[in-house]
């Protein structure tokens, strides 16, 4: 138990509210605004994160239009003492069924307790957010119009323990040990799982690992006056099936100016067993009968995003992603998949001291396959008018 605790990360201790879904900001609660209640303790903070809109989407064949509730999560967190803190974030529009080692449903993002051993060392445990680097990964999910394919397919909320160390206030090194998934190997991937490495006609049997765990080392840095330059880097190893591993490198850098913020993220994943699943889904027509998954899949993801507060109460968001996927041991499917998404949103904040925005957004996406793969490329487009509101109730 001591070894496990010493090999882990504290999300709450990281700069700029890292791993906690973005900065809370100086917002007035409804209890203050409506009932004139003065808050005298930080032991209980209660939020609703809600996003909804009216969208029109073209799936490559026709347009479909309608209203949608995109995100609804409740969040409770607080500092009981100067050292002891907790956090719960639960999604209300996702499955609530508890299963697997975590014994939580997918709806529960985070349920953790943390303790600050000193000003430099922080320990936390429970259901945590894995501590991969990058800035989009750390943002409040409500604010993401469209995730990259890689992040969208990651299973990032799992049970574990974490420790962080800050040698100086602007620098943090952290480590985490957690479950590799929420459920079980057979529960997530089915029975009689087979792996295809380099020959579709010769799949090999897979069995669950005795210790399906994830190990991550993370570094968060803040540099220059006013944290003008920020970094979020991480390296990790995951295992689910015996003899197979997933390795991931994540690098993020952000320029943090008063009225403009710009970041660039890189995610690289090398999977002996296709954790993300989209290579397996793409190549299903070529697979033999049975429950087969692709092996030796390599993915690269680049994300860049700009926020510009060009006038009071206004923000312009521009974002682009580029991703590649390769099945390295099968010549026909090397670099077979390249995708790009391009987003723009005009956001308006009409109410002071409230994290409430109205937006008009465009989201385009292109998935292109190589000629030798034999797969058909496609495009999608979406125009959306809506709102996002992080409601601070108390």
| pLDDT given at position 394 | 82
Sign of CA dihedral 135, 139, 141, 144: negative
Give start and end residues of each alpha helix (H) in 219-304. Answer: 278-282
Q: What predicted TM-score, i.e. pTM, was given to this entire model? A: 0.89
Rounded CA separation 37/392 (Å): 13
| pLDDT given at position 181 | 85
* Beta bridge mates, 178: 160, 214
Sign of CA dihedral 352, 358, 362, 367: positive
Rounded CA separation 34/394 (Å): 11
Angle at 355 between CA 344 and CA 221, to 5 degrees: 75
Per-residue pLDDT of the chain (394 residues; tens, 9 = 90+): 333 333 332 333 323 445 555 556 677 776 777 766 666 678 888 999 999 999 999 988 899 999 999 899 999 999 999 999 999 999 988 878 887 777 888 899 999 999 999 999 999 999 999 999 999 998 999 999 999 999 999 989 999 999 999 999 999 999 999 998 888 888 888 889 999 988 888 889 988 888 899 999 999 999 999 899 999 999 999 998 888 999 999 999 999 999 999 999 999 999 999 988 889 999 999 998 889 999 999 999 999 999 999 999 999 999 999 999 999 899 999 999 999 999 999 999 999 889 999 999 999 999 999 999 999 999 999 999 999 999 988 8
Sign of CA dihedral 94, 96, 98, 103: positive
Give start and end residues of each alpha helix (H) in 164-257. Answer: 185-189
* Beta bridge mates, 72: 50
* Beta bridge mates, 125: 113, 161
Tokens coding 149: 């394919």
Question: In which residue are the tokens 């040698």 written?
Answer: 167
Domains, the chain: 2-392 (2.40.160.10)
Contacts of 279 (CB under 8 A, 6+ apart): 294, 297, 325, 327, 333, 337
3-state secondary structure of 17: helix
| pLDDT given at position 186 | 83
Give start and end residues of each alpha helix (H) in 36-160. Answer: 149-153
CA distances from 14 to 133, 144, 347 (A): 12, 21, 28
| pLDDT given at position 349 | 96
Does residue 381 contact residue 363 with C-beta atoms inside 8 Å? yes
Return the closest-CA partner of residue 176 out of 15, 1, 11: 11
| pLDDT given at position 213 | 94
Q: How deeply is 27 buried, as exposed, middle or buried, from its count of CB atoms within 10 A (0-12, 13-18, 19+)? A: middle
Rounded CA separation 326/55 (Å): 33
């Amino acid at each position: 138990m001591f070894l496990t605790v010493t090999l882990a990360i504290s999300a709450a201790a990281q700069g700029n509210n890292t791993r906690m879904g973005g900065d809370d900001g100086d917002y007035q609660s409804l209890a203050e605004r409506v009932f004139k209640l003065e808050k005298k303790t930080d032991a209980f903070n209660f939020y609703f994160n809600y996003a909804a809109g009216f969208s029109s989407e073209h799936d490559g064949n026709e347009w479909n239009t309608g209203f949608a509730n995109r995100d609804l999560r409740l969040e409770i967190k607080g500092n009981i003492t100067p050292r002891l803190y907790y956090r719960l974030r639960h999604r209300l529009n996702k499955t609530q069924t508890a299963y697997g080692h975590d014994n939580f449903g997918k709806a529960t993002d985070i349920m953790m307790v943390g303790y600050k051993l000193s000003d430099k060392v922080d320990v936390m445990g429970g259901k945590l957010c894995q501590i991969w680097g990058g800035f989009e990964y750390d943002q409040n999910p409500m604010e993401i119009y469209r995730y990259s394919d890689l992040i969208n397919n990651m299973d990032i909320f799992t049970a574990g323990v974490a420790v962080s160390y800050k040698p100086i206030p602007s620098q943090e090194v952290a480590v985490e040990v957690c479950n590799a998934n929420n459920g079980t190997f057979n529960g997530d991937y089915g029975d009689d799982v087979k792996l295809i490495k380099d020959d579709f006609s010769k799949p090999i049997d897979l069995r669950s690992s005795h210790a399906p765990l994830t190990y991550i080392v993370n570094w968060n840095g803040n540099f220059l006056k006013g944290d003008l330059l920020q970094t979020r880097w991480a390296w990790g190893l995951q295992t689910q099936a015996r003899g197979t591993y997933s390795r991931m490198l994540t690098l993020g850098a952000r320029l943090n100016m008063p009225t403009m913020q710009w970041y660039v993220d890189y995610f690289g994943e090398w999977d002996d067993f296709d954790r993300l699943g989209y290579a397996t889904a793409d190549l299903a027509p070529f697979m033999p009968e049975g429950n087969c998954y692709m092996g030796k899949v390599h993915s690269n993801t680049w994300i860049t995003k700009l926020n510009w507060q060009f006038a009071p109460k206004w923000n312009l968001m521009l974002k682009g992603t580029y991703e590649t996927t390769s099945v390295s041991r099968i010549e026909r499917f090397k670099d077979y998949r390249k995708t790009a998404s391009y987003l723009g949103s005009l956001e308006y904040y009409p109410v002071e001291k409230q994290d409430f925005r109205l937006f008009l957004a465009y989201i385009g996406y292109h998935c292109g396959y190589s000629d030798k793969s034999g797969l058909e490329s496609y495009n999608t487009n979406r125009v959306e008018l809506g709102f996002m509101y992080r409601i601070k109730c108390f």
